[in-house]
Amino acid sequence: MSPRRSTEGGRIDRGRTIRFSFDGKTYQGHPGDTLASALMANGVRLFGRSFKYHRPRGLLAAGVDEPNALVTVLKGTVREPNIAATQIEIYEGLTVESQNRFPSLDVDAGAVNQLAGGLLSAGFYYKTFMGPVIGPLRGTRFWMACEHFIRRAAGLGRAGRDADPDRYERMNAFCDVLVVGAGPAGLMAAKAAAEAGKRVILADLDPVPGGSANWSGETIDGLPAAAWAQGTIEALGAMDTVRLLPRTTVWGYYDGNTLAALERVADHKPAPDRGEPRHRHWTIRAGAVVLATGAFERPLVFPGNDRPGVMLADAAVRLLREYGVVAGSRLALFANNDDAYRAAAALAEAGATIAAIVDMRDTVSPAARALAERAGAELLAGHAVTGTKGRKAIREITVQRLREGEITGQPRRIAVDCLLMSGGWSPAIHLASQAGTAPRWDEALQAFLPPKPTQNWVGAGAFAGRFATAAALADGLAAGAKVAGGKPPRKSAQPRVETLELDIAPAPVFEIRPPGKAGKAFVDFQHDVTAEDVRQAHREGFVSVEHLKRYTTLGMATDQGKTSNVPGLAIMAEARGITVPEVGTTRFRPPFTPVSLGALAAERYGELRPDRLTPMHDWHVENGATMYAAGLWYRPMIYGGRGETVEQAYVREAAATRAGVGIVDVSTLGKIMVQGPDAADFLDRVYTNTFSTLPVMKARYGLMLREDGLAYDDGTTWRLSQTDFLMTTTTANAGKVMQQLEYYLDIVWPDLKVTLTSVSDQWAGAAIAGPRSRDVLAACVAGTAVDNDTLPFMGIVRGEIDGVPVMICRLSFSGERAYEVYCGAGHGLHVWEALMEAGKPFAIVPYGLEALGTLRIEKGHVTGAEIDGRTTARDLYLDWMLSKKKPFAGSMMMDREGLCDDDRIRLVGIVALDDRPLGGGAHIVEHNDPAEIRDSIGHVTAGCYSPALGKYIALALVKGGKTRHGARAFVSDPLRKRFGPVEIVSHHFYDPEGSRMHG
Amino acid sequence: MLITCPYCGPRDLAEFSYQGDANRPRPDQHDTDQARWNAYVYDRSNPAGPHREYWQHAGGCRKHLLIVRSTLTHAIESVAFAGAQGATPQAPRRAAKGRTKTGPAKGKKP
Amino acid sequence: MAEYSLFSLIKNAWNGNRDWKPAWRKAEPKTDYDVVIVGGGGHGLATAYYLAKEHGITNVAVLEKGWLGSGNIGRNTTIVRSNYLLPESIRFYDFSVKLWEELAHDLNYNVMFSQRGILNLAHSPAQADDYIRRGNAMLHGGGDAEWLTPAEIAKKAPGVDLSASARFPVVGGLLQPRAGTARHDAVAWGYARGADRRGVDIVENCEVTGFLREGDRVVGVKSTRGEIRAKKIAVAVAGSTGRVMKLAGIDALPIESHVLQAFVTESLKPFVDTVVTFGGGHLYMSQSDKGSLVFGGDLDGYNSYAQRGNLPVVEEVMSEMVALFPGLARVRLLRSWGGVMDMSMDGSPIITTGPLPGMYLNSGWCYGGFKATPASGWTFAWTIAKDAPHAINAPFTLERFHRGALIDEKGQGATPKLH
């Protein structure tokens, strides 16, 4: 016998059929079905295999707490593993496969693990697999050989390696009131808050909000509860201050009443609509929150409680009332509370036979008895299920007398095809507990209730331990009114509920332990943690709740212990002879249910960072530049495209610049306007050298230290007027320097009258270098002369190029006569093209970062490779820039003994004596034995082929620095398999007197 | 975390850049006491509880704010512009023993 | 206490696993010890173990405020590596890796150190040079390193986005083959068991509430389980350093406590074999033996003693994860949590005598404490036993900050959130 579809009931559309496939077999279902309900309706009971023992497993739950029925959803080559069948809405063509089985779900070789039984007890892996202490398998080798197989056996679904073609989206929302959960309590809270004029967001994780109203079978305000819920939702939806978010799980409660939610926008369709994301990641800043997240039913722990066909009582009710699926034809119920009797009655009403109700309590309330009678069930009070039978589905249970906690009497066998169980309810307090305070144990409910709020939330309904529908409605109404700041609601505002009054409180028994050798009794179904594992943890001293969890892996599966947490604690409490709250509870961590990584990446999936492009970007690309990602910027590396190697290209570009003229895009440099009466004073404080003495329309090279006295950044600063300076920074440090300057002005020297403006994106810049650079400018600049008198070294002029106002400063990074031309960014390309045009007669070449680097290495200028956060100005022989006349940022810290040590690595030049390249990151050694990789005295910061010297040269940081000039050493670069002789020389390789740039 | 910028109103944590401990006074630029500079750069009181600290509204008005925030709960007690009266880091160092005062310090003008 | 072995497993399985004994005794604190170690995390337990094993000092108590291993030893991303840049760091962490390699046998506890390698991906020629400098430094310091081309990376870590159109295209990767992962909790439990069976008292639920002083000298602690005197008091409390040292009157240290989040996905069949780091941002990830992807990124970036973080970092880390492995967009985050990091001012630790007479301090691990556990315990035990540091930890002093003898791997200066 097997589960079947009832002829009526549920919200499925029996008039339409949907075809889907599971493990290659095609099935039919109806709109409104979940994968779980549709498969059950087709008589399928085997859904998955467990993690460790590969035991056959069926459906346990009906919601997000499902631990067993995990499957992989396939869309082409894209895989989505570990999705609970209860959470998948079927659609035409849905393709799903089962997991963690080989070769098939039905015949799984991994089931052999069941034979190892006691060997695979809690923490067994800590005690073995260590291998021999000596021999070829010593150290970690034996373990790694074992681990190879363990890893293949472990794991659930398989993830895909192909990129996910769908897109994800992020949404920010603000509201007065966020209501989490649209069951009776949540609906009333939303209604009350909305009617008080608040902006409300109502989120529910199900496709059809309504919560328990959708399956309780009760009557609210004279309507079937489900209809009442839909009516209430429609009314809320009609209010423009209410936003309804179905299929939306609020999963994280962060600081400042910020909540994170996942909306599954298109999972229920074959593909997202055009422009639609698959998931939407909501960040909701709520004035107040109503938590109405309901509760999870708990399983009971007894031997064989994991057999397919054993399921939670409420899950069977949901299958019936939401999807019209009868979980079995001959059922039994095993419970420790009255409330579960409803399930027996409901299934009996749907035509199933209720063979027995096994209640571990001796006395059962009259109301429950009446239900048992209505279900036509034999009531076995004071009894317990002590075992189950059946290979891949349950076919029989064993029942025995339970007297004062002891199993006695003769076992009785009852044939069933489904066993419902209920161990009471655990409120879903996860969100409330994420903020870190401990929940409270309620002895009567045998459950943890939410902690006192540390943020602005109010709880309602089953979440708060008020399980009955009437109480939930009243609670919701009160919570809604409270967060809306209004008056307490009138009694008449509360809907009337027609229901059977049943006591929800369970007997404080979670486990049934028949004497003698019994089968495994599972606490954590997915991770195969048994009651015996919990007791073993106790014996081995892993008795605190966190040790229990970590040692046995209890509660660490994809369901995060939603069903296993309390039973596990109860068993440990009993073993220790203390109460459950004394064992403690673990803190729930976000997310409440798993969240796709893509959703959290949102719009950054496929586009991690924005691109920063200079105004001349397209020109570079069109002219053959190979672009190079430098931080967020893209910059030309070389202008190749002539079949040149990178080296050939940069050597050509650098040589042409030194011989004639070259042009490079320097728009990426950081540019900060420093303005105000105290601007010069300010610069004197932050730069190591003096700027107050700088004449107007002159520039000066400046060096900045960090507060700890190490070198920070360098660049030129141009004095445009008495009170206006344009500071340039390195590309990489533009943001950080700006922030540091703002820090000084806001906090350290708020009395200085200075304003800072970042203008990096407002100015485009081009540097023209080479002996013919002046000729190029002369040919295109209007409004000013550019001769040596008008525009001497470090001078600044304003002029025009092809109608565009420009600012030109004569400064040089290359060691050649050179100029930087700045114009408004919008005219950058125009000016660049005008300069190229003017340069044609002089054979101007554009050059990229490689040539720029080559020119600066030849000249011995430092950049980020040398100013790497660990070097001082002295290490870089920039002592001459350290003013002795004034204090400056870092001046008191730069002379500490550790920063003046003789042993520090300092800047030198090196020349390859074997005519081979010197790569950045190569090390320098004194010995001449390539096989001896040891005793580094420093490293290469940047190397190149120098066309000016006709040699491979590099800058390096070497112990002793200058004292080694003229010494022989060896480059040792074992990673690139390079070793060879070098000579250590001055870092000023080229034109050390500077005659070329001053000329 | 939401920070209520005095200019911009309540804004998300993502807009702000943490600028660190506001309890350590920066010595005067002309101060030549090495110990004071060392303390300023390296030593932190690192309290468990209310912490005076600087944040910059980097994704907004770019002002630096002096915030008192609990390092145990992340709850924000107060937000003010940094460098305003009473919020200067040049305040004389309090010789508190193992305790951090939470209120704005009575500071000298720099 | 019985040896753990396949044989003992079989024997116990036969007896229904009823004969296992506690991994460590629940010791009652005595009133007097030779050494009291404050902090029952990985470093404190390792210190106790090596004090007993290497120095024969067994009259030792480890005091733990909560449950043993409740701090960062059980909250990290389990990576063990020694791919450092500076000679002091290379020497220290390489020593640690050597101890790791023998740890399971040493402790008779399978800490599951698996040398599956760590692969640092480089995304620009400049970053490649930087990593090559580091790899060469490792080799010159006696460690191991290899440089991988993108084609080799494709084999080593299939699924990594190696396309030229990636926002940060991969140009190469630095591999340290001897690096890997270990089972974090097992390290705490293994050290606890090893120390316990050498006679060390491990006292859980014992919070230190003050220090006993005789003049300058620290001579014991006050605790929630009474006063405990000792000749030497060692503090190894990581993120709680500030709080505990304040009890001793030390108000300022070169340390800030910051929150670092860590993440795991649901369990998957083998997806990636090695530890992979993404250089286009800050991300490190690996796959546990259970099948979860374990990963993390930057600090939240503000002082915190709360073991939880906020959304911006969550979003950033996930963004980097799917940039590195675009196939993972449909894989789901299962759990996130936070740990409190003792961020030092140069990103390197402090293992030292002092700062008060009778006291010893082990701190400043930033988020590199897990891999250091064996070497930290070993060198701290040496420092306590000999009243002087071993050559391996001699550079990691408390005075180095003021002196300027910094060990700044990242070159970020005194900005803890950036280390």
Nearest by CB: B48 against C243, C249, C416:
C243
> Å from B86 to nearest chain C CA?
22
Per-residue model confidence as pLDDT tens digits over A971-998: 999 999 999 999 999 999 999 998 998 8
Average pLDDT over residues C49-54: 98
ipTM: 0.96
Q: Tokens representing C356?
A: 């008060």
Cβ-based burial of A880 (10 A; exposed 0-12, middle 13-18, buried ≥19): exposed
| pLDDT band with cut points at 50, 70 and 90 for residue A709 | very high
By Cβ distance, the residue of A255, A746, A751 closest to B110 is: A751
Residue A897 DSSP label: G
pLDDT tens per residue, range A884-917: 999 999 999 999 999 999 999 999 999 999 999 9
Dihedrals phi, psi of C36, to nearest 5 degrees: -110, 130
Say whether pLDDT at B93 is over 80.
Answer: no
C-alpha distances (whole Å) from B14 to each of A311, B18, B58, C300, C310 are 45, 10, 9, 10, 9
Reported as a pLDDT band with limits 50, 70 and 90, residue B86 is very low
- The C-alpha of B94 sits at a distance from chain A's nearest C-alpha, in angstroms, of 18
Confidence band of A500 (pLDDT split at 50, 70, 90)? confident
Does any CB of chain C come closer than 8 Å to the CB of residue A939? yes
Under an 8 A CB cutoff, do B21 and C252 touch? no
With a cut of 60, say whether residue B87 has pLDDT above it: no
Looking at chain A from residue 435 to 464, which residues have their Cβ under 8 Å from any Cβ of chain C?
Answer: 435-436
Count CB-CB contacts under 10 A for residue A507: 17
Tell me which chain B residue has its CA closest to the CA of residue A891: B29
What pLDDT is attached to residue B48?
95
Interface contact A743, partner B, CB < 8 A: yes
With an 8 Å Cβ cutoff, are A164 and C329 in contact? yes
Residue to test with chain B: of A892, A893, A900, most B Cβ within 10 A: A892
Mean pLDDT for the stretch of residues C348-374 = 96
B46 closest CB neighbour out of C255, C402, C415? C255
C315 vs A contacts (CB less than 8 Å): 170, 281, 600-602, 604
Among A131-140, C151-160, C195-204, C304-313, which stretch is predicted with the lowest mean pLDDT?
A: A131-140
pLDDT of residue C14: 84
pLDDT of residue C1: 55
Tokens linked to A866:
């040398």
Angstrom distance (rounded) from CA A388 to CA A419 = 9
Model confidence band, residue A666 (pLDDT cutoffs 50, 70, 90): very high
Rounded to 10°, the helix A184-195/A469-483 angle is: 30
Task: Quote the pLDDT of residue A437.
Answer: 81
Q: Which of A147, A605, A869 sits opposite C289 (nearest CB)?
A: A147
Window A:271-310, CB contacts with C under 8 Å? 281, 283
pLDDT confidence of C2, banded at 50, 70, 90? low
Instruction: Give the mean model confidence (pLDDT) for residues C378-391.
Output: 98
Residues on chain B touching C305 (C-beta within 8 angstroms): 48, 71-72
Amino acid (1-letter code) at residue A283: T
Residue A957 phi/psi, 5-degree rounding, is: -110, 120
Residue C17: HSE in the Cβ half-sphere, 13 Å Cα cutoff = 24
A40-60 pLDDT, tens digit each: 999 999 999 998 899 999 999
pLDDT of residue A942 exceeding 90, the answer is: yes
Percent of chain A whose predicted confidence (pLDDT) is above 70: 100
Q: Is C3 on the interface with B (CB under 8 A)?
A: no
Classify each residue of C149-173 as buried b or exposed e, where b means 16 or more C-beta atoms within 10 Å of its C-beta. Answer: ebeebeebbebbbbeeebbbebbbb
pTM comes to: 0.95
pLDDT band at A517 (very low <50, low <70, confident <90, very high): confident
Q: Does the CB of C269 have a partner CB in chain A at under 8 Å?
A: yes
pLDDT value of position B88: 43
Q: Do A594 and C333 touch (CB under 8 A)?
A: yes
High-pLDDT (> 90) share of chain A, %: 89
Supply the pLDDT for residue A640. 85
Asked if residue A651 has pLDDT above 60, the reply is yes
C369-386 helix and C87-107 helix, angle to the nearest 10 degrees: 90
Does position A438 have pLDDT exceeding 90, yes or no? Answer: no
Q: Tell if the CB–CB gap between A747 and B56 is shorter than 8 Å.
A: no
Q: How far apart are CA C352 and CA A292, in angstroms?
A: 53
Given a contact cutoff of 8 angstroms between Cβ atoms, the answer to whether C1 and C25 are in contact is no
Q: In chain B, what residues touch C254 (CB-CB under 8 Å)?
A: 42-44
Determine the Cα angle at C281 with ends C279 and C287, to 5°.
70
Check A750 against B110: CB less than 8 A apart: yes
Q: Of C132, C278, C310, which to mutate for an interface test with A (greatest number of A Cβ within 10 Å)?
A: C132
C412 in B contact zone (CB under 8 Å) = no
**pLDDT score of B84:** 60
- Residue A137 confidence (pLDDT): 85
When scoring C207, C241, C246, C303 by the number of chain B Cβ atoms within 10 A, the one with the most, hence best to mutate, is C303
Each residue of A339-383: pLDDT tens digit? 999 999 999 999 999 999 999 999 999 999 999 999 999 999 999
What's the angle, vertex CA A874, arms to CA A870 and CA A880, rounded to 5? Answer: 140
User: Has residue B85 got a pLDDT over 80?
Assistant: no
pLDDT in tens, A919-928: 999 999 999 9
Q: Looking at chain B from residue 65 to 104, which residues have their Cβ under 8 Å from any Cβ of chain C?
A: 69, 71-74, 96-98
User: What digits encode the pLDDT tens for the residues A725-756?
Assistant: 999 999 999 999 999 999 999 999 999 999 99
Q: Are C207 and C65 in contact (CB under 8 A)?
A: yes
Q: Average pLDDT of chain A? A: 95
Nearest CA in chain C to A587: C337
Rounded-to-integer distance, Cα A24 and Cα A365, Å: 49
Cα separation, A848 vs A905, in Å, equals: 30
C304 contacts on B by Cβ (under 8 Å):
71, 74
Decide if C357 touches B, using CB distance below 8 A: no
Q: Choose the weakest-confidence range: A111-120, A329-338, C99-108, C295-304.
A: A111-120
Is the pLDDT score of A508 beyond 70? Answer: yes
Please tell me the least confidently modeled range out of A659-663, A754-758, C68-72.
C68-72
Give the mean pLDDT of A432-453.
91
Nearest CA in chain B to C416: B20
Identify all chain A residues contacting C132, using CB atoms and an 8 Å cutoff. Answer: 919-922, 973, 975-976
Does the beta-carbon distance from B83 to A283 stay under 8 Å? no
Residue C139 predicted with pLDDT over 50: yes
Centre a 10 Å sphere on the Cβ of residue B61 and count the other Cβ atoms it contains: 16
Distance from CA of B31 to the nearest CA of C (A): 16
| Residue A720 identity | L
Please give the helix or strand (H or E) that residue A235 lies within, else none.
helix A225-237
Start-to-end CA distance of chain C, whole Å, equals: 42
Contact B16, B8 (CB under 8 A): no
Residue B82: which of A746, A751, A892 has the nearest Cβ? A746
Cβ-nearest to B71 among C249, C305, C415: C305
In the prediction, which pLDDT does A560 show? Answer: 87
% residues pLDDT > 90 (chain C): 94
Q: Per the CB < 8 Å rule, is B42 touching C302?
A: no
Residues of A in contact with B30 (CB under 8 A): 887
Q: With a CB-CB cutoff of 8 Å, which residues 297-316 of chain C face chain B?
A: 301-306, 310-312
